[in-house]
Structure 1
Amino acid sequence: MDKESHFKFATGVVGYPILFVLIIWLVFWFEVRFGFDFNNFGIYPRDLKGLRGIVFSPFIHGDLSHLWHNTLPLLILSMGLFFFYSNNAWKVLFLGVIFTGCLTWLLGRQANHIGISGVIYMLFGFLFFKGILAKHFRLIALSFIVVFIYGSMIWYILPVDPKISWEGHLSGLLVGSILALLIKRGVAKPKKYYWELPDYNPEEDEFLKHFDENGNFIERLPEEELEEDIEVIYDYYKPDDE
């Protein structure tokens, strides 16, 4: 696969993230409009019934502020995932949601853990670490952009606010980092120059031929001087005018 095909824009790059945002907003609207409370469908750690929250909790939010603060990061980070890692985007999302939920279920406090912030931290961890590990200049640039915009998120993997599921954030970051280490296929590779190729022969390199055994630069190679010293005279038959 051509390297540039990894970064080909498609409708899904924008379409899927917008769909995710619409779903979580639709669920919240449904709760408010019809008076439902889905908080009991969150992840309740170390309780068999609480396992259902692994699937349902990302779509449930406590209030408008909670929902709004998750909307923009979800939109931006998922767009980055689908554009720069299109071959692995759905795999990262599926495994990320499942394992982030499972780890939260194991580590969390005895409370209903709701919201998509754990998945956001998973995306943050994956995009940052994968870009560094891939060593591709575009992916490294993405890593720095992600950490520049959302680097302050790192504080919320600590118990700074009892109302925030720091366990879910920590779980997401750990899962995203592990996925960045494990997923290697379908990721853009850094460009290799011809001198990095396995069949490269330095003796045939036209540039290196201009250096002698002591590393001194030779402006003209002996063959070039020889060619310039040769004078070519053409002799041809010209009939007499008579």
Structure 2
Amino acid sequence: MTTSATAVRAGAFSRFLSPLALLALMWAIQLVDSVTPDRFAVYGIRSWDLSSAPGLVLAPLLHAGWGHLIANSLPFLVLGCLVAVEGTGRFWIVTGAAALVGGVGTWLFNIPGTITVGASVLVFGYFGYVVLRVFVPGRVSHRIAYAAIAVIVVVLYGGSMLAGVFGAAPGISWQAHLFGAIGGGLAALAGRSRKAPE
């Protein structure tokens, strides 16, 4: 294997470090939460409460329990890596947009006083990004690849995404799902550099 090929592989792998690190952080937080008397979920987004503003950053990292975290982990990793393949910077922009738009939408439209936590706001944001990325101008070959990925993602996750917005069970925030997806979609439609990913 040549040095240049090794460097290319190392660069490609490094793009996935951000979603992996973020998921590892969620698991570490849940582990600490499970062995301490206080529940970290209280630091999530509390609708209509201005003092919960830090929840815009913290809520996606916090979960109601192990089952909640486990349910979010695989789609977070799959969809997060599909975003991260475009570069570390792109991953964090989409993550920030999903967290911000998803958090503000949840804060505004959920029942006052309701606490919302969980990485699903990011999962739906990544889904919205991957699907709407198809409509951003670029090279034909790139758009074909994005379209193929989007079709696969819709087949794998489309049903559960729709159910998460329109058929969410009691106690599950459809607001975080809907506005997270909107945040990811806005990040896609905002455009991106036509340069090759960094």
Does the 8 A contact of 1:87 with 1:186 survive in 2?
no
2:13 corresponds to which residue? 11
Shift of 1:34: 2.3
User: Normalising to structure 1: TM-score of the pair?
Assistant: 0.69
Q: Could you list the per-position Cα deviations for residues 117-165 of structure 1 after superposition, in whole angstroms to 9, with x for gaps in the alignment?
A: 0111011001111124446111111111111111112111125311101
Instruction: Please name the residue that 1:119 is paired with.
Output: 122
Q: Partners of 1:138 and 1:130 in 2: how far apart? A: 11
Alignment of 1:54-93 (within 5 A): 54-84=56-86, 88-93=90-95
What residue in structure 2 maps to residue 162 of structure 1? 170
* 2:35 counterpart of 1:27: no
Flag structure 2 segments of 5+ consecutive residues without an equivalent: 1-9
**Change in CA separation of 1:88 and 1:35 when aligned onto 2, cut-off 3 Å:** same
- 1:58 positional shift: 0.7
Higher-helix-fraction structure: 2
Q: Which residue is 1:181 aligned to?
A: 189
User: Contact (CA 8 Å) 1:12, 1:82: kept in 2 or not?
Assistant: no
Question: 1:85 and 1:128 mapped to 2: Cα distance?
Answer: 17
Measure, in 2, the Cα distance between the counterparts of 1:18 and 1:181: 25
Paired amino acid for 1:120: V
What TM-score, normalized by structure 2, do the two folds share? 0.83
d(CA) in 2 for partners of 1:87, 1:21: 17
Contact kept, 8 Å, 1:85 with 1:187, in 2: the verdict is no
* Rounded Cα–Cα distance in structure 2 between residues aligned with 1:77 and 1:168: 17
State the match for 2:3 in structure 1.
none
Q: 2:54 aligns to what? A: 52
1:129 aligns to what? 132
Aligned length: 183
Aligned partner of residue 46 in structure 2, secondary structure? coil
Work out which of the two has the higher radius of gyration on C-alpha atoms and give 1 or 2: 1
Stretch of structure 1 that moved more, 133-142 or 74-83 = 133-142
SS at match of 1:109: coil
Moved >3 Å (runs of 4+): 84-87, 132-135
Q: Secondary structure at the match of 1:130?
A: helix
* Higher alpha-carbon deviation: 114-123 or 77-86: 77-86
- Cα offsets for 1:184-213 (capped at 9, x unmatched): 32476xxxxxxxxxxxxxxxxxxxxxxxxx
Q: Percent identity?
A: 26
Report the residue type matching 1:137 in the other structure: I
The answer to whether the 8 A contact 1:132-1:143 is kept is: no
Give the Å deviation of 1:87.
Answer: 5.4
Report whether the alignment pairs 1:172 with 2:180: yes
Residues 51, 105 of structure 1: 8 Å contact kept: no
Equivalent position of 1:142 in the other structure: 149
| C-alpha distance 33-167 of structure 1, shift in aligned 2 (>3 A) | same
